[in-house]
Amino acid sequence: MVLSLKERSDIMILPNLKETQKRTKNAVKTIEYSIDDKYVNLGKGKTYFIKTYGCQMNEHDTENIKAILEQMAFTEAEDMEKADLILLNTCAIRENAHNKVFGMVGRIKHLKESKPDIIVGLCGCMVQEEVVALEIKNKYKWLDIVFGTHNINNLPSLLNNFLKEKKLNLEVFSIEGDIIENMPAKRDSKYKAWVNIMYGCDKFCTYCIVPYTRGKQRSRKPEAIINEVKELKNKGYKEVTLLGQNVNAYGKDLDSSYDMSNLLEDVSKTGIERVRFVTSHPWDFTDEMIEVIKKYPNIMPYIHLPLQSGSNRILKLMGRRYTKESYLNLYNKLKKAMPNCSITTDIIVGFPTETEEDFNETLDVVNKCKFDSAFTFIFSARVGTPAAKMKDDTPLKIKEQRLYKLNELINKYALERNKEYLNKTVPVLLEGVSEKNEDLLMGYTDTMKLVNVKAPKKMLGLVASVKITDVKTWSLDGETVK
């Protein structure tokens, strides 16, 4: 039975912007996830489909959500049109992420008109925003479940409530956040795995929505992380990527002096073949971390080091706590310690008040660093962040021109860096079939270069020695060597 909108009195816990800004010294609770027996058959005979937007953190959340749904006996549908439950795991980082989600919600509404029994849900960062939750409450009442980043573990009971009452269940908390241990994960890859080392962020860069959508910085206990890596290694995983909004600040919220350099060392000592970590903030990248990365061969020589801007005036307005000079200093230190390490970055153009002169400072850093690659963005005002209130009178057209110019330079250096690989033999974890040609395999070098490789399928899951035979701006071609 499907109740009409009039009959539905909806259950709502809405987020609140003021609350999400709060940071207290209250201890972080660790909650052990478990599923109540009464929920384990809820999804019997039903299928689900999840579409994920945003960063690796969100991708990993989706892996958790999938596993929870499978504990409830749901099975994964091949495509959205065939699913009984459709979930969109959303991202809030820029306006275009919003637009994509609402575009998809419109498509799903059509689907629900012809199949009223399908369950439709939204989760993730976007619904953590007060403005979005209110929009859902007012304009998207036909949605069935909505939950945020803090209560993925409540999914079974939310679904149960919905199935019983057929009322919109919107439950989005504005808390600083707990740590939920023991959540199951249905991992996308058999060879590489995401491992959360911390949640949330306390940096409050003035443009960024993440501290509001993901709560305060909470580091997982070292033992929990190391045990997870050991288990993954025992299951045959070759690579782990340690995940956090700002991994260098790992441990600063724990009652000990244990920090990211200690964690990297201990994770490396598990003997797993490859260790990666994202994302690093240039502000708290320590010399000890550099020493550890350099010392242990299974810690990959690849660092994602967001620059955001090369102008000291803009960096200050962004609240980034470093200068162009200190960024370059760190960059040079990393390259000196590990000459073959690759460094990629994120850059925002058109931050409020950015002048041509400021932009040229950014280009100057790019010319000096010759990044291996970069994600580049036009500033997007996020409601509730300080930067959204700053005067921004640069026309979009100028911002687009700056982005274009920046991308040209980024592409030039990406190709230049890739050319250094020609005829070299490099280690590649062969993880799948190439998207461009199904006779080829694909994988990433230690330095995170995508390579399409001539190799037999039986080599999947191995770290192979690959000779690079051709290079392009965004990928390399190669063949395995004995």
User: According to CB under 6 A, which one of 126, 260, 264, 348 is a site residue for ligand 5AD?
Assistant: 348
Q: Which amino acid is at 245?
A: Q
Please state the closest distance from residue 211 (CB atom) to ligand 5AD, in A: 11
x/- site string to ligand 5AD, residues 69 to 98, per CB under 6 A?
Answer: ------------------------xx----
- Beta-carbon contacts of 189 under 8 Å, excluding residues fewer than 6 positions away, are 431, 432
> CB under 5 to 8 A by kind: which of ligand 5AD, ligand SF4, none does 379 bind?
ligand 5AD
- Please give the C-alpha separations between residue 46 and each of 33, 93, 414, in angstroms, as whole numbers: 23, 32, 46
- Mapped onto helix, strand or coil, the DSSP state of residue 278 is strand
Per-position x/- string for 166-205, each x denoting binding to ligand 5AD as judged by CB under 6 A, each - no binding: ----------------------------------------
Binding partner selected for residue 207 from ligand 5AD, ligand SF4, none, CB under the kind-specific 5 to 8 Å limit: ligand 5AD
Name the minimum Å distance from CB 372 to ligand 5AD: 16
Cβ neighbours of 417 (radius 10 Å) = 20
Q: Which of 106, 151, 107 is nearest to 128 (CA)?
A: 151
Q: Among ligand SF4, ligand 5AD, none, what does residue 268 contact (CB within 5–8 Å per kind)?
A: none
Q: For the chain, how big is the Rg over CA atoms in Å?
A: 23
DSSP class of residue 256? S
Stretch near ligand 5AD under the rule CB under 6 A, chosen from 128-136, 232-240, 257-265, 377-385:
377-385
- 346 counts as binding ligand 5AD under rule CB under 6 A: yes
Residue 204 CB, shortest distance to ligand SF4, in Å, is 14
Alpha-helical (H) ranges within 235-285 are: 260-269
Q: Which of residues 83-102 bind ligand SF4 (CB under 6 A)?
A: 91-93
Q: 18 to 37, contacts with ligand 5AD by CB under 6 A?
A: none
Which residue, judged by CB position, is nearest to ligand SF4 in the bound state? 54
Q: Which residue is nearest to ligand 5AD (CB)?
A: 346
Token pair 């609240």 is at which residue?
319
54 binds, among ligand SF4, ligand 5AD, none (CB under 5 to 8 A by kind): ligand SF4
Smallest CA-to-CA distance from 449 within 427, 433, 465, 434 is with: 427
Cβ nearer to ligand SF4, comparing 92 with 451: 92
Residues 6+ apart with CB under 8 A from 264: 242, 275, 277, 289, 292, 293, 296, 299
Q: Which does 150 bind (CB under 5 to 8 A by kind): ligand 5AD, ligand SF4, none?
A: none
Q: 273 and 421 in contact (C-beta within 8 Å)?
A: no
Going by the DSSP 8-state scheme, the letter that residue 299 receives in this structure is: B
The C-alpha atoms of residue 173 and residue 148 are separated, in whole angstroms, by 7
Specify the residue, 178 or 346, whose C-beta has the smaller distance to ligand 5AD: 346
Say if CB 245 and CB 253 are below 8 A apart: no
Which one, 180 or 426, has the nearer CB to ligand SF4?
180
How many Å apart are CA 432 and CA 452, to the nearest integer? 10
Binding mask 108-147 for ligand SF4 (x = CB under 6 A): ----------------xx----------------------
Q: How far apart are CA 349 and CA 332, in angstroms?
A: 24
CA–CA dist 462, 3 (Å, integer): 53
Whether the Cβ atoms of residue 196 and residue 218 lie closer than 8 Å to each other: no
Residues 6+ apart with CB under 8 A from 313: 358
- The helix (run of H) or strand (run of E) holding residue 198 is strand 198-199
- Contact call for residue 214 and ligand SF4 (CB under 6 A): yes
Residues numbered 53-82 forming contacts with ligand SF4, rule: CB under 6 A:
54-55, 57-58
Q: Number of residues in contact with ligand 5AD, rule: CB under 6 A?
A: 12
Q: Minimum CB separation from ligand SF4 for residue 348, in Å?
A: 13
Contacts of 7 (CB under 8 A, 6+ apart): none
User: Which stretches of the chain bind ligand SF4, using CB under 6 A?
Assistant: 54-55, 57-58, 91-93, 124-125, 209-210, 213-214
User: Which stretches of the chain bind ligand 5AD, using CB under 6 A?
Assistant: 93-94, 207-208, 306, 308, 346, 348, 377, 379-380, 382
